[in-house]
Amino acid sequence: MLQLSDSELKIHLDNRSNAPKLLAGNANYFGALSDSKIKAVFPLKYNTAFEELGCIGYQPILEELTATIKITRTSGYGGNLCSNGSLEYVRFFLDYGNGTWQDMGMTAVNVHDLPDSKDCDGAIEKPISYVVRLKIDPKQLLCSTANLPKLRAILSWNTPLAANMPNPIVAWGDMKEAQIQIAPMVLLKPNFPLESIGSLLTTAIQNPTVSLANIASTSLATKDKLSLAQNAILSPKVELAELNSLYTSNKIKVEPERIGAKILNEAIVSKNQITMLQNQSIFTAAGLDWASSIKNFLALNGNTSYEQLYCVGLDYQKEALVASLNIKKSSGYSGGLCTNGSKEYVGFWIQTDVDCAWHFAGSAFVNVFDIAIPANGLAYSVVLPFDFSKYRNPCGKPTILKVRAVLSWNVAPSSTDPKAVPYWGNIVDSYIQIAPGKGWDGKNPVMITLGGLSVDNINATTGLSKPGAKFEFNQAGTYDNSPFAGTIVMQGLSAPLAGMKYRVKVHNLATNQAYYLNSPLVLLGYNTSTNQITHPIVTPDANNYYEYKDYLNNIDSILARFNPGTNDLLEITLENDNGSSVSQRIQMDSILPQISLIIEKSGCGGYTKGDTINGTFSVNDAYLQSYTLSSSLAPNIYSGTTNVPNAGNPTGAFHFNTIGSGSPCGSINMSATEKTIHDSVSTGYTVYTGEVVCLK
């Protein structure tokens, strides 16, 4: 954290609170526009006095980039927890080794002014660690080649970062780089039976609504092929003797207490003479000294020469504890990328002010391997989805918790003793803030989002988005008064109601017709013991009731996913089987903008250079945001914008002068952008059209 004097702090606070107004008067007020002729008034560049990046990393199985944001002060974040606060934006870039940064996307977290509080030891609960996660679709290579791109994360307070700009100037923010490891492809391993299973995969791709298992079950031979393929993608485990021989033959020094950590720990924990003798024989057969190894193992006491944990924080929006660690060496991780490698376990603990006791939240792990790594190591993240609903308070009472992460290589950390020091690994404490919640009676249904927006940000009468509404999953903005189209996703309270049942009614207020959703619902889960994504399927009963699932079987808290395919106002009702319910209206808009462009003399030779190109246009859309007419033959641009629903359908004539045109051929182009939110994840769909014009 950058230190400020009291007078400097006051100046910064004044500038932060007035930033929108100051930038409106001078776009270069803070000096972010490096090429601007406008003089900066209060130049800042990556000032970390209020927020900074702690760690950045990657979870290979979840394919998620992560960044820990440390909030260090009590004010300067746009208001208390009952206000809108402000946003901490993070944009990620990857360089796959060619020196070019590829934009992976941006996400954000909502932060607020939070008064100082003290933990059970009397320490101030700052900084508070927030984590943002961004799922990506990375390039994958075979396991014979390590895929180690550079990662860059850029933090910007309350100012969105422009796309494809890996070197921006931000006033308050930070930049960090690390190197990460992308998981290799598993389907193209040398022994994968592609020839025999190819037809099965083809059938599955051609029938995306039918599971691979169901397709395979139609034939015993096909079922056997699937089993063969499943076994082929399992990575082999390297035995102790083979591993020691591999390191020795390549003159790689790895301590016996490192190579045989699992076997040594098993013998110590078991306290069983037979187990002790069996493990000792495995050690001696591998050519390793048992007595000295077990002595050295017991003396390790949190050795961080191979790996080290640096950050732990909370994904505030998607509710998961995230720990970030660094792999420091190229060897000592039990095998290369084509093997099982080894596990970096992280155990998570939570301490509350109520009893000051540490409560075990669970553990997760990430697989690591022997890889020739760069000097600064490799950055990994370990993610544990966790249900924080029991800790949630209304916004008037912020919930700050102390969390502890225990890193332990290849040996699961203790689930009973939060102070147990790992043999290989370390312990890190931090503070997190739980998102506030509404009062809940413990039995009624709670609808949290609909169409990607918080229901609080959807007008209860019109069903349109309220001004300033943002997508909850990444805090990206939407247009004011936006309707919805495509797939509608509903999120709601699920884990606290696990075992109870609910159903979802869709009532079309224009036609007065209603129906209940009854298609199987595919959820997203996470198996912490295998570090694998799961896809639980919930099938409704005869009365259209679905069952609420626990958090690890529904980590996104999805209650419904449906596609109404209408342009009417709908009322969506979430009904519990105890008779309680909650409703929310949404306005649908399933028709894309209709645009027309007519040129008086289109095609080739219709106009002579210097003539004025004439034509007419029309735009037909109930929720139009903007439209643009342009010509590649002249610099003229004709455009319009509307910010209210049902603003009419603009029509008109256009005239483009071709004097000074440098090309004999070009086009008249038109686009129209609607406000509509599509598939619960994006907004502002644009439709294009154009006409070619060639001058004589």
328-354 pLDDT, tens per residue? 999 999 999 988 899 999 999 999 888
51-89 pLDDT, tens per residue? 999 999 999 999 999 999 999 999 999 999 999 999 999
Query: What pLDDT band is residue 646 in, cutting at 50, 70 and 90?
Result: very low
Three-class DSSP category at 11? helix
- Cα–Cα distance between 189 and 194 in angstroms, integer? 10
The secondary structure element, H or E, covering residue 23 is helix 19-25
Give the chain's mean pLDDT.
89
121-132 mean pLDDT: 96
Let me know: does 365 contact 344? Beta carbons within 8 Å: yes
In the chain, where the domains are located? 45-184+305-434, 194-229, 240-298, 447-587, 594-695
- Cα–Cα distance between 562 and 22 in angstroms, integer? 44
Q: Which of 115-119, 209-213, 639-643 has the highest mean pLDDT?
A: 115-119
DSSP state of 424: B
553-564 pLDDT, tens per residue? 999 999 999 999
183-205 mean pLDDT: 73
Does residue 191 carry a pLDDT above 70? no
Q: 30 vs 216, which has greater pLDDT?
A: 30
Does residue 643 carry a pLDDT above 70? no
- Cα–Cα distance between 611 and 26 in angstroms, integer? 40
Query: What pLDDT band is residue 642 in, cutting at 50, 70 and 90?
Result: very low
Report how far apart, in Å, the C-alpha atoms of 154 and of each of 108, 151, 172, 539, 679 are: 11, 10, 11, 42, 28
Does residue 232 carry a pLDDT above 80? no
Structure confidence at residue 274 (pLDDT) = 83
Structure confidence at residue 627 (pLDDT) = 86
Percent of the chain whose pLDDT exceeds 90? 63
- Cα–Cα distance between 490 and 450 in angstroms, integer? 5
Let me know: does 674 contact 483? Beta carbons within 8 Å: no
Does residue 271 carry a pLDDT above 90? no
Does residue 190 carry a pLDDT above 70? no
Report how far apart, in Å, the C-alpha atoms of 318 and of each of 386, 427, 474, 664 are: 9, 24, 10, 55
Report how far apart, in Å, the C-alpha atoms of 347 and of each of 313, 409, 528 are: 13, 11, 11
DSSP state of 390: G
* Cis, bond preceding 127 (omega within 30 deg of 0): yes
Does residue 219 carry a pLDDT above 90? no
Query: What pLDDT band is residue 635 in, cutting at 50, 70 and 90?
Result: low
Q: 589 vs 205, which has greater pLDDT?
A: 589
672-693 mean pLDDT: 91
CB atoms closer than 10 angstroms to residue 694:
16
Does residue 371 carry a pLDDT above 70? yes
Structure confidence at residue 37 (pLDDT) = 84
- Cα–Cα distance between 387 and 551 in angstroms, integer? 6
Query: What pLDDT band is residue 13 in, cutting at 50, 70 and 90?
Result: very high
Which amino acid belongs to residue 412? A
Output the CATH code of domain 594-695.
Answer: 2.60.40.10
Classify each residue of 166-180 as buried b or exposed e, where b means 16 or more C-beta atoms within 10 Å of its C-beta. bebbbbbbbbbebbb
Model pTM score = 0.85
645-668 mean pLDDT: 71
Least confident segment among 11-20, 186-195, 480-489: 186-195
Least confident segment among 212-221, 313-322, 493-502, 503-512: 212-221
137-150 pLDDT, tens per residue? 999 898 889 999 99
Q: Which of 100-104, 220-224, 552-556, 601-605 has the highest mean pLDDT?
A: 100-104
Q: What sign does the CA torsion over 325, 331, 337, 342 have?
A: negative
CA 91 to chain CA centroid, Å, is 11
Q: 70 vs 601, which has greater pLDDT?
A: 70
Least confident segment among 267-276, 471-480, 510-519, 532-541: 267-276
Percent of the chain whose pLDDT exceeds 70? 93
